[in-house]
Structure 1
């Protein structure tokens, strides 16, 4: 079993290297092959899938923020984009928000866009933010972006970092409450993307 897992991991890493220049959906299809006959996805398999997607072109999408602005991912090339797929009913999502807010403030003068994508409608989000402020730019009714465009698992939170060329730098699921965990995960990735010409 360990040999199969090692083989699968090696295959994912190889595909990740080959991902450059591939569309997100082409890469998604290749990275998903190993999951087709699985009855359930373990956290390890999902993590391997996420690694396999590194280097793929991020899929384009358009969302409307709570203040009415339209954001299209393709028009953000040249900026680092940090996506957070979450839900108001997700306790781990809420727990990591204070540290994520600190991250947003840390990069306030940098070429970084922080975008939160929730399945709930605008009214629900506005009420939620009264109690739990979230400094990412929020977009409501974004479930299709997660499930149909990015084709991600139903679990939240799910985070994606996209480099200035529009390629997946890193993606993962799960929360990391606490400033130390958030900063040790995010800042090396964001800084590397910012440094890339």
Structure 2
């Protein structure tokens, strides 16, 4: 079976659909109240909350993609093919992509800040500005997360069959210290529907 048939690749790729929603929430946060800090400080604050933690994770301990919501597949239950996928995720190329994505997203943040006055919510007093910046930062962090993880998945999906076949499986003993694993670890994430296409 082709490595591109791995369900978790496509599940995480679909996370891109959440990015526009997160950016809209970020814009809403930036539109709350009137600026109370210098422009550079407000943008830096939102960027620090929204970019740094996700970027640090992807550079130091990439997200373990065999996890969804609050559960993760135990490392000892991974197939050889799944371990090969992890090898492609934890590469220098992916770290460079993460850096490029971070720069791109900061550029998007700057654009959002520029148009925020158009969406300004005058119903809220200036003292709500700090709350708005926190909302913007948290929303931007989620947007980064749902952009960075699919980006690492795309890197796997565009890998040629020959390159994938030559990829050495990631050592199961190194997975826990090298990847960010979130959630309760279980033996199986997705039910295996064996023989579902049997003879009619």
Does the alignment reach a TM-score above 0.5?
no
TM-score with structure 2 length normalisation? 0.22
TM-score with structure 1 length normalisation? 0.22
Whose helix proportion is higher, 1 or 2? 2
Higher RCO structure, 1 or 2 (CA under 8 Å, sep 6+): 2
Structure (1 or 2) with the larger CA radius of gyration: 2
